[in-house]
Amino acid sequence: MSNHEYDRLYDELSGLEDETGTVFSGSPTQKVGYEVLSELPKERHERPMLSLNKTKSMEDLTEWLGEQKGLLSWKLDGLTVVLTYRDGKLQKAVTRGNGEIGEVITQNARMFKNIPTGISYQGELVLRGEAIIRYSDFEKLNALIEDVDAKYKNPRNLCSGSVRQLSNEVTAGRNVRFMAFSLVKADGVDFKNSREEEFRWLMSLGFETVEYVGVTRDSLADAVADFEKRIEQFDIPSDGLVLLYDDIAYGMSLGRTAKFPRDSIAFKWADELQETTLSYIEWSASRTGLINPVAVFEPVELEGTTVSRASVHNISIMEGLELGEGDRITVYKANMIIPQIADNFTRSGVRNIPARCPVCGGATEIRQVNDVKSLYCTNPDCQAKKLKGFALLVSRDALNIDGLSEMTLEKFIAAGFIHEADDIFHLDRHREAIVGMEGFGERSYDKLIAAAQSASHTTLPRLIYGLGIEGIGLANARVLCRHFDYDLEAMRHADKEELCSIDGIGEVLADAWVRYFENSRNNELLDHLLADLAFEDERQREGEQLLAGKTFVITGSLELFANRKALQEQIEALGGKAVGSVSSKTDYLINNDVTSNSSKNKKARELGIPILSETDFLKMTGEEQENADQDTE
């Protein structure tokens, strides 16, 4: 934009900050000053930060609540931080530490993405909350790391390390967010003896609070079940729920024990454990060369499904569990999703680590990075590396070639039908051999060729995503295509400086992009592939970016769109974005059941966010009339 337009918007923002008293950490009016410390100073908390008493029993939780009204919320899995504001300014941020003494991280807290550094309340405000990194941001950060062993293990550890950095410039790049869960002090404000009023007041000041719902003993079980159902899709790390008495005076009158406050209790998900026998360790090669150990055991029922396999991740974990064939082990589903080994009773010990890659037969080696030992294939031409790359290219979000599963790709690579990506569109050269393969026939062959032909008419973002450039997902691919007006040649020759000027593209992604296209072999293979592709012109489809700058949340079942992914793509095509949870930054919630009392609907109503049906959304974007015209034709 022009300097004049920027200055106008800057002045408007500055005026709004003066008017409301709320200033966010990312505001352009705040000069970002990075600071490097020699160490983090320690400080004693004015009030000890106690742990919560815990239960896994629904009966105990209901008995604890009794006849009181409660607030049920997520128990966030991050790093607890205490914030202190005076005269409307953030004065101090301290980690929980050991509950008595924490580390002062004030400069780092100023880098949190959603924290207000200035608020309208002028008294002393002390509040507690959780510093977290969302799963979506965690996965983006991990995607930028090429070395598998160097990838971060989980969002909680990454958040803890990010918050406690000696350089706040590192914290600024990690997308740390703050979710308030407790008000400690705010003199002179009448909260009507209600914790819920405290939450609402904090939200009015610009704080993002933990999602909560009001409950009684009659509604508690249904509320817990609703949270449990949504944990699989929840974008913020959580290891349970917290139940808090809404009545402030009642909760305070109960006092505390030496270890726990009595006004709140944690409800932990009860992991279902099953005992079984480890049959053997299967070694699975990836396109990075890492060979992952997978435990294969006698099938058991877990959380309603039959499970017989669990990733062990690396040799260090195998050694820690002393895993050997025939051992008696217990298994569970982490967060009710991912099968994991909980314990090994017989511990016969690790043996038979393969000296040869199970795919190509090339030599393997054990590498140790940051005290973690993993197995790698040393053959640069390993077929597994090709297989995973081709699997990404033909996946649903890339070229979307139905019928080319990893198993089929593996057969075709082994038979010599596919050496490079372009060969996928010339499988007709091997018609007789494919028809004669086990599991194939004339009909399967015809479907595969038709799918490849259909996939040859695609979009440039899908191709860019399918190339597998480090860190470039489908959303980034769309951003790049729009910036370069869908000119692939310009994209190929873009330098780091121009790439870094694009919103959402940082130095790491820019380096990966430039490195990919500096490789002459990559360009040669891409040229071969381009000869068989035809691209749709998405510029006409995008037209005016009607939803530019708008953020949507999609929930509930859909009727007019095939699935949430299709609706998300429509939003992005019009310049908007779709996220997983409702917050003060959400512009619209899309839910066909606009009158429901779901947690997202309630949160939207509390924040004054419009709730749209699919039909409302189509009216907003002008699509409804277009669809009606097509139906008439």
pLDDT in tens, 79-122: 999 999 999 999 999 998 877 888 899 988 998 989 998 999 99
Residues 612 and 600: beta-carbon distance below 8 Å: no
- Across 59-87, average pLDDT: 93
pLDDT in tens, 181-212: 999 999 899 999 999 999 999 999 999 999 99
CATH topology match: 383-455 vs 460-541: yes
Q: What type of residue sits at position 410? A: E
Question: Given this model, what pLDDT does residue 33 score?
Answer: 46
- Across 455-469, average pLDDT: 92
Decide: residue 591, CB within 10 A, 0-12 exposed, 13-18 middle, 19+ buried: buried
Question: How far is 612 from 282, CA to CA, in rounded Å?
Answer: 48
Question: Given this model, what pLDDT does residue 621 score?
Answer: 77
Question: How far is 632 from 115, CA to CA, in rounded Å?
Answer: 51
Question: How far is 374 from 315, CA to CA, in rounded Å?
Answer: 5
Catalytic residue (choose from 56, 75, 385, 496): 75
Q: In which band, very low, low, confident or very high, does the pLDDT at 276 lie, cut at 50, 70 and 90? A: very high
> Which tops the pLDDT comparison, 398 or 55?
398
411: region left, alpha or beta (phi > 0 left; psi from -120 to 50 alpha):
alpha
What average pLDDT is seen over the chain?
Answer: 85
From the options 3.40.30.10, 3.40.50.10490, 1.10.150.20, 3.40.50.970, give the CATH code of 460-541: 1.10.150.20
75 is catalytic: yes
Long-range contacts for 363-371 (Cβ within 8 Å, ≥24 apart)? 364/291, 366/315, 367/149, 369/147, 369/149, 369/150, 370/149, 370/150, 371/316
Percent of all residues in the chain with a pLDDT value above 90, rounded to a whole number: 40
Q: Residue 268 has which token pair?
A: 């932990």
Nearest residue to 77 (alpha-carbon basis) of 201, 181, 175 = 181
Whether 400 has a pLDDT exceeding 60, the answer reads yes
Fold category of 545-632 in CATH: Rossmann fold (3.40.50)
Residues 6+ apart with CB under 8 A from 236: 74, 76, 132, 134, 135, 179, 581
Nearest residue to 563 (alpha-carbon basis) of 572, 554, 552, 553 = 554
Fold category of 383-455 in CATH: DNA polymerase; domain 1 (1.10.150)
Return the minimum-mean-pLDDT range out of 90-94, 257-261, 390-394, 613-617. 257-261
CATH, range 274-377: 2.40.50.140
CATH 3.30.470.30 applies to domain 32-268 = yes
pLDDT in tens, 358-389: 888 899 999 887 678 899 988 877 877 778 78
Domain boundaries, the chain: 32-268, 274-377, 383-455, 460-541, 545-632
Question: Given this model, what pLDDT does residue 558 score?
Answer: 78
Whether 582 has a pLDDT exceeding 70, the answer reads yes
